[in-house]
Chain A
Amino acid sequence: MMKTIIIRNGRIIDPANGRDEIGDLVIANGRIAEQSAIRDSKSAIAEIDAKGLIVAPGLIDMHVHLREPGFAHKETIASGARAAAAGGFTTVVCMPNTSPVADNPSTITWIKDRARDTASVNVLPTGAISKNLDGEELAPIASIVQSGVVAITDDGKCVQNHELMRRAVEYARMVGVPVLDHCQDYNLVGNGVVNEGEWSTLLGLSGWPAAGEEAMVMRSILLAELCDHHIHCQHISAAGSVRLIREARGRGVKISGEVCPHHVTLTDAAIQNFDTNCKMNPPLRTQRDIDAIIEGIADGTLTILCSDHAPHAGFEKEVEFDQAPFGIVGLETELGLFIDILVHQRKAISINRLIEMFTIEPAKLLKLDAGTLSIGAKADITLIDPGREWTVDVSKFESLSRNTPFHGWKLEGRAVRTIVRGETVWAL
């Protein structure tokens, strides 16, 4: 059925087309349409009042864990997609550390089918670099890519063997997908659970030194140069990583980095009561690291914002600190946290740049048909109220899990409506 929608009087920010103006956006047949579609419409026209709101291309979160198959008690593709919609995301990229691992075409096909049948937003899978994420032999990367992944990564794990990683990057170049690297040197990190520094010393917890990330960021830079192919460093947490990536990008190396909200809003002082919702990998670090990351975002060194949405059941997190799994949920808090800290508090970037980092930047890196309001594009749209004040309340989460340190935080800025292919999948 032909369906026409007009979103009226919003501030349309479409970085892909260099557009920032007050106006009306027309959707016809699930795609962005010319204004003339209104006149030509033969059926009723639905109206959405967007006065005072930003009308942005649907946001993309390129780093989430949806836990299905294998861990449906933490999250399902359906519940993760609902959480994404509630956070303003129309597209999410899910990591391969499921059970079974997404290191083969049949698992990836299963994920895509499941997403098609149950998810309210676009779910794009990634495939593993190494079989079973063991870092010992290559997964069938070309077959995985043919089954439809947007990147390869061993996220959660890190290939330690530089030679294997080198071959993976060369192979990925042949089949045309970027490599996403969770940068962690196992020897340096050992059994570290928190940032190595004052708080690990005080609390007697095993330290995870920044050098454990920086060493592998450097490895990624060297291999990106050697193989002339793009490597993207996931969840940057350390000042030294920002410096290395800045220097390499300055020389034209195909390297990039992403940032999660917790790494710019919390320091390792947050662990002082052994709160397992502050246990993440890489760990919370120091104010100096936060400042360096925000500087890296402001000067364009770090180009992508994401959540590393990592749901865990309450009973799994309610254990001794050493034994708790790493990670927090993030889809429903990240936009608010980033707008609040980066745009309002620190004034590091404009809301326009923030939207770029959630749209054209990941779309460009992963070669996605998304992140634009061009005529004819799929009508994936996020309406954002950048000045809206709200309080994080875990009881209202769509995610199956509640593991977040941000419960009760007062934030300024959030999504108020999420539209996928012209259909409103969530509204405040």
Chain B
Amino acid sequence: MTTARWNRKDLLGLRELSADEINLVLETADAFKQVGTREIKKVPALRGKTLVNFFIEPSTRTRTSFELAAFRLSADVINITASASSLSKGETLKDTAKILEANHVDIIVLRHSSAGAPQFLAERLRSSIINAGDGAHEHPTQGLLDTYTIREKKKRIEGLNVVIIGDILFSRVARSNIFALTKLGARVTVVGPSTLVPRDFEKLGVAVSYDIDKVLPTADVVNLLRIQHERQRKEYFPGVGEYIRLFGLTKERAKLLKPDCLIMHPGPINRGVEIDSEVADGNQSVILNQVTNGLAVRMAVLYLCGGIAT
């Protein structure tokens, strides 16, 4: 057990967390995971607290997961999307958030297309700010649930070879995974087209490779990222066909993997692009475990931060 204490009102990213703090979240999530298996899936930890899911960028899975997590902690929840908020009438993010605070909202879960938006709010509001993904910066709860899933299946993080494949440059999931896993002692390799995996990533303490067939045989975990068509200008790579040929986790390539290598994906999946359908549904895949664990991890985060907020 870690002896770390939690004293953050916000969860903005994993870069700023210590290994002890990360472990504390994971251990707290262990306790909450049990709750999900009970007949009564609800605990009173955040009873009387109000949580706003403030999603300025579209999301189904993350928003649903946070909403369920809040329900299970007995918090009151409202959802706000960009089109339904005053942002669409030209109100600034600061003003919209100040309105929420004036309504005594305790926790704001923010998804935003601009890097740094959660920190911007955290510096200005007393409410807890939970980053549910900010641009290409961080998606800390995804990084935590991926780490949780690896730890649950492999019983450790230290010394594992974790390979993250795909669009690293534009991926907040990649960054949060890199920060958490390297702090806990994993060896992380990022793989993808050179345009989407710049060498600058080496400065984050990871290896950069453009040869997927070389890194797969020693991998303990393979985490595949979606190729995000909507973010990319077409000069980043010549087309989906060539991407699959170079970097797709096809059935044939999956044979290079160790039998106990975990296959992960934060979703949503483009079947037949970054991963073959059979591989995504195969027995090495822990994609649905990630979803289940996401709920427990988000309960832990809301519980820890919600207890600090004033």
Query: Which residues of A approach B to under 8 Å, CB–CB?
Result: 190, 197-198, 200-205, 273-274, 315, 318-323
On whether the beta carbons of A315 and B92 are closer than 8 Å, the reply is yes
Q: Is B204 an interface residue (CB 8 A)?
A: yes
Task: Please indicate which of the listed interface residues B114, B116, B119 has the most CB atoms of chain A within 10 Å of its own CB.
Answer: B116
On whether the beta carbons of B138 and A320 are closer than 8 Å, the reply is no
On whether the beta carbons of B119 and A274 are closer than 8 Å, the reply is yes
CA distance A377 to B297 in the complex (A): 74
Top-8 shortest CB links A-B: A274-B116, A204-B136, A204-B137, A320-B114, A201-B200, A322-B114, A204-B115, A321-B116
CA distance A320 to B94 in the complex (A): 9
On whether the beta carbons of B200 and A203 are closer than 8 Å, the reply is no
Nearest A residue to B93, CB-CB: A320
A343 → chain B closest CB, angstroms: 34
Which residues of chain B from 228 to 245 have any CB-CB distance to chain A below 8 Å in the complex? 233
On whether the beta carbons of A198 and B114 are closer than 8 Å, the reply is no
Neighbouring A residues of B169 by C-beta, 8 Å? 201
On whether the beta carbons of B203 and A274 are closer than 8 Å, the reply is no
A270 → chain B closest CB, angstroms: 13
- Once A204-B135, A204-B138, A315-B92 are accepted as A-B contacts, the answer to whether A321 and B201 lie under 8 Å apart by CB is no
B92 → chain A closest CB, angstroms: 6
- Once A190-B233, A320-B116, A323-B114 are accepted as A-B contacts, the answer to whether A201 and B201 lie under 8 Å apart by CB is yes
- Ordered by A's residue number, 6 sampled pairs between the chains whose C-beta atoms are within 8 Å are A197-B200, A201-B204, A204-B138, A320-B117, A321-B114, A322-B114
On whether the beta carbons of B116 and A319 are closer than 8 Å, the reply is no
Neighbouring A residues of B136 by C-beta, 8 Å? 204-205
Query: Which residues of B approach A to under 8 Å, CB–CB?
Result: 15, 92-94, 112-117, 119-120, 134-138, 169-170, 172, 175, 198, 200-201, 203-204, 233
On whether the beta carbons of A198 and B115 are closer than 8 Å, the reply is no
A265 → chain B closest CB, angstroms: 22
On whether the beta carbons of A319 and B135 are closer than 8 Å, the reply is no
CA distance A203 to B15 in the complex (A): 10
Nearest A residue to B56, CB-CB: A320
CA distance A291 to B237 in the complex (A): 36
- Once A204-B136, A319-B93 are accepted as A-B contacts, the answer to whether A198 and B116 lie under 8 Å apart by CB is no
A317 → chain B closest CB, angstroms: 11
Cβ-defined partner of B92 (8 Å) among A202, A203, A204, A318: A318
Neighbouring B residues of A205 by C-beta, 8 Å? 115-116, 135-137
Nearest A residue to B201, CB-CB: A201
A120 → chain B closest CB, angstroms: 34
B135 → chain A closest CB, angstroms: 5
CA distance A321 to B118 in the complex (A): 11
Nearest A residue to B198, CB-CB: A201
On whether the beta carbons of B115 and A321 are closer than 8 Å, the reply is yes
A84 → chain B closest CB, angstroms: 31
Neighbouring B residues of A273 by C-beta, 8 Å? 119
B170 → chain A closest CB, angstroms: 8
On whether the beta carbons of B204 and A203 are closer than 8 Å, the reply is no
Nearest A residue to B179, CB-CB: A202
B288 → chain A closest CB, angstroms: 28
On whether the beta carbons of B200 and A198 are closer than 8 Å, the reply is yes
CA distance A318 to B97 in the complex (A): 13
A279 → chain B closest CB, angstroms: 11
On whether the beta carbons of A203 and B137 are closer than 8 Å, the reply is yes
Neighbouring B residues of A318 by C-beta, 8 Å? 92, 94
